[in-house]
Amino acid sequence: MTEVTEPLVELRQVSLAYGRGPEAMLALADATLSIAKGEFIAVVGPSGCGKSTLMKLVTGLLPPTSGEVRVHGQKVTKPIRGVGMAFQNPTLMPWRTTMDNILLPLEVVEPYKRDFKARRAEYVARVEALLKSVGLGGFGDKFPWQLSGGMQQRSNLCRALVHEPEILMLDEPFGALDAFTREDLWGVMQKLWLDRKFTAVLVTHDLREAVYLADTIYVMSKRPGRVLVRREIDLPRPRTLESTFDPKFVDIVHELRDVIRREYAI
Amino acid sequence: MTDNQRHYLKIAMPWLVMAVLLLIWEVACIVFDVPEIILPRPTRIFEVFIARFDILLRFCLETFWTTAAGFALAIVFGLLLGLAIGASPFVYSGLYPLMIGFNAIPKVAIVPILMIWLGVGAAPAIITAFVISFFPIVVNVATGLATIEPEMRDVMRSLGATQYEILTKVGIPRAMPYLFASLKVAITLAFIGSVISETVGGNRGIGFLMLSAGARNDTATTFAGLFAIAIMGVLMYAVCAWVEQRMTKWAFRGEVAV
């Protein structure tokens, strides 16, 4: 992302403390970053560095203790609209089929909600197309617990994207999968992003995953989390598993690994 | 043993155990020459059961209706209160300690009070069945709601879902297996409640029949009533278990149910 555009999401000196008074614990300190429209950013750092907190702040699920979060230039005070979220735990509802799970955002989000009943057939077709694009064509009538972990996570991505959100939040979505499935899903994720060009925030502790997917990587410090390094990744797209063995790719991973090692060396 | 034989043996097991127990009972009564007024033999109870089947059935049906009415009330109010307690931390902290205190009161103690208020008849039995079976339903429904995964809630909130939508789309479906699991417990409790009420003071139902048979030293009829209650209890439990299986298939998934 080289063109200069007004940032879609801006964090200005945002900090967040959990709890109150003397027991308050600072999870995030002075985080400042901005995300351009259509940019794919990754936030990396080991557990407990406030990565997930950062994500909740951007979506307005948590109000910051100080500083401000702006989306579209508007200060965020409550959960913002037009966000898709996917967590490490797929959180699909076991009483709904995969199809009905993915339809859920359309039942809740305006303007889809308004004529959900009338346009159901159209929405079902849309979900089917989406399922097909992640390699799950024909699995709509299966229940989530009949799917493998990787398939559940694919469905989870579909649910996060079906209402065409402007911003997609990914909180270690591939963290619980085996290495092969994970690498497979990086490709799926990249394809979805290249096709739709949403803005994405990926929280992860996997450096290769971050370098594979992101345009810009932010490395977080130990708690309380600050942004240590901002690194733009200018590797050509689409990136493939082959490119993860490319010396340039490997160099970036090493460089980031070094930053983290220095920060976390005791 | 083949798999098939194992399967049938498993089904037959409860019947076999029951038959053995009844046999031991029968033999013990004959060997030790136990008088019928103390402990009638199972064959004698069975005889009375058949001979007085019409009376037993009539009194059982009375008990059944009061139990069913109390149980229905318990489901309606238990569900509503469970939803309220599970959905709102304020209602929870306000009502939960009170409910635990109330649940600790032996329900036999309130029957005389109910009789002062409502007189003798079906009403005290219905209310007793209701208050005794209401608690597990409330607790289970509230637990089902309170244990929604925070991430599921975050997904809904980030979609802009209202509290009402979170309740109807996540909370209630998720609480259903908890509700149905509690019904199995609650129906047996409801039975206990209505029989207690009939026994403490009443003019109807199987509890009353047993009490008056006991007063006439007709021990065989009392035992026949006991068996009738047990049969009804098992049947009602089976109905609840069947409904549970049907309504919340997803919660079973061939593994251990939650």
Instruction: With residue B164 as reference, give the H or E element that holds it.
Output: helix B163-166
B166 CA: distance to closest CA in chain A (Å): 10
Mutate to test the interface with B, among A53, A62, A101, A104 (most CBs of B within 10 A): A104
In this structure, are residues A251 and A56 in contact, taking their beta carbons and an 8 Å threshold?
A: no
Asked if pLDDT for residue B256 goes beyond 70, the answer is no
Q: What are the pLDDT digits (tens) for B64-86?
A: 999 999 999 999 999 999 999 98
A60 CA: distance to closest CA in chain B (Å): 8
Contacts of A143 in chain B (CB under 8 A): 250
The residues facing A25 across adjacent strands are A18
Instruction: With residue B19 as reference, give the H or E element that holds it.
Output: helix B3-31
Contacts of A110 in chain B (CB under 8 A): 160
Q: What are the pLDDT digits (tens) for B44-61?
A: 999 999 999 999 999 999
How much of chain B exceeds pLDDT 70, in percent? 98
Q: What are the pLDDT digits (tens) for A107-131?
A: 988 778 888 888 889 899 999 999 9
- As a whole number of angstroms, the distance between CA A155 and CA A98 comes to 7
A71 CA: distance to closest CA in chain B (Å): 14
Domains in chain B: boundaries: 1-33, 44-252
Contacts of A61 in chain B (CB under 8 A): 154, 157-158
Asked if pLDDT for residue B251 goes beyond 80, the answer is no
First to last CA, chain A: 36
- As a whole number of angstroms, the distance between CA B106 and CA B144 comes to 27
In this structure, are residues B155 and A91 in contact, taking their beta carbons and an 8 Å threshold?
A: yes
**Angle at which helices B172-200 and B122-146 pack, to 10 degrees?**
150
Helix, strand, or coil here: B131?
helix
Going by the DSSP 8-state scheme, the letter that residue B170 receives in this structure is I
Is B172 an interface residue toward A (CB < 8 Å)?
Answer: no
Asked if pLDDT for residue B258 goes beyond 70, the answer is no
Contacts of A107 in chain B (CB under 8 A): 169
Q: For B142, phi and psi rounded to 5 degrees?
A: -60, -40
Q: Tokens at residue B139, please?
A: 């607790």
Chain A and chain B share a number of CB contacts under 8 A equal to 58
Is B246 an interface residue toward A (CB < 8 Å)?
Answer: no
Of B158, B169, B174, the CB nearest to A83: B158
Mutate to test the interface with B, among A78, A81, A87, A106 (most CBs of B within 10 A): A87
CA proximity to A220, closest of A19, A33, A25? A33
B4 — pLDDT class (breaks 50, 70, 90) = confident
Rounded average pLDDT over B221-232: 92
In this structure, are residues A63 and A77 in contact, taking their beta carbons and an 8 Å threshold?
A: yes
Q: Do B173 and A93 touch (CB under 8 A)?
A: yes
Of B159, B170, B174, the CB nearest to A105: B159
Residue at token pair 């919340």: B248
Query: So what's the pLDDT on residue B153?
Result: 87
CA proximity to A81, closest of A64, A61, A53, A66? A61
B16 — pLDDT class (breaks 50, 70, 90) = very high
Mutate to test the interface with B, among A55, A61, A92, A93 (most CBs of B within 10 A): A93
Going by the DSSP 8-state scheme, the letter that residue A29 receives in this structure is E
Query: So what's the pLDDT on residue A67?
Result: 87
Query: So what's the pLDDT on residue B121?
Result: 82
Rounded average pLDDT over B222-241: 92
Query: So what's the pLDDT on residue B26?
Result: 95
Strand A167-171 vs strand A199-204: parallel, antiparallel, or unpaired? parallel
Q: Which domains does chain A have, with CATH numbers?
A: 1-81+199-266 (3.40.50.300), 83-165 (3.40.50.300)
3.40.50.1360, 2.40.30.10, 3.40.640.10, 1.10.3720.10: CATH of B44-252: 1.10.3720.10
Q: Do A59 and B170 touch (CB under 8 A)?
A: no
Q: Tokens at residue A264, please?
A: 């976390």
Residues of chain A with pLDDT under 50: 1-3
